[in-house]
Amino acid sequence: MSFQPSPIFVKVYDLLAWLIPITMQFPKSQRFVLALRVQDAALDLHELLVAAGKSQRGERRRLLQQADIRLEQLRLHWRLCRTLQLIEAGRYEHGARLIDEVGRLLGGWVAAAE
């Protein structure tokens, strides 16, 4: 029997692997501002999900709520990247779809934890 990671961890990993190289291409003036905020939000989201997966029920709900907040911050930062024309429309749409997929999976986990 092989280990099958939860779909949310796979999706967040895919998001990180795609998102970090994109943000590293931002202009130098934004690499340590908005690019860093996007990366931090995505990495924090992953860390909170890992912690939630390893915690007890009460603590898990708190961590999942924090993860949901970080996901919302990531959405805002990503939208701001498009508004400031740091990414083109196609990349924005692809990233937004990935973020939405993670949001649906997270929502399901939150509902199951209640």
pLDDT score for 84 = 96
Count the residues in the chain: 114
Task: Say yes or no to pLDDT of 39 above 80.
Answer: yes
Q: Please state, in angstroms and rounded to a whole number, the distance separating the CA atoms of residues 23 and 37.
A: 10
Average pLDDT, the chain: 93
pTM of structure: 0.92
Q: Which domains does the chain have, with CATH numbers?
A: 7-113 (1.20.1440.60)
Q: What angle do CA 106, 51, 16 make, to 5 degrees?
A: 60
Mean pLDDT value across residues 13-33: 95
* pLDDT tens per residue, range 71-90: 999 999 999 999 999 999 99
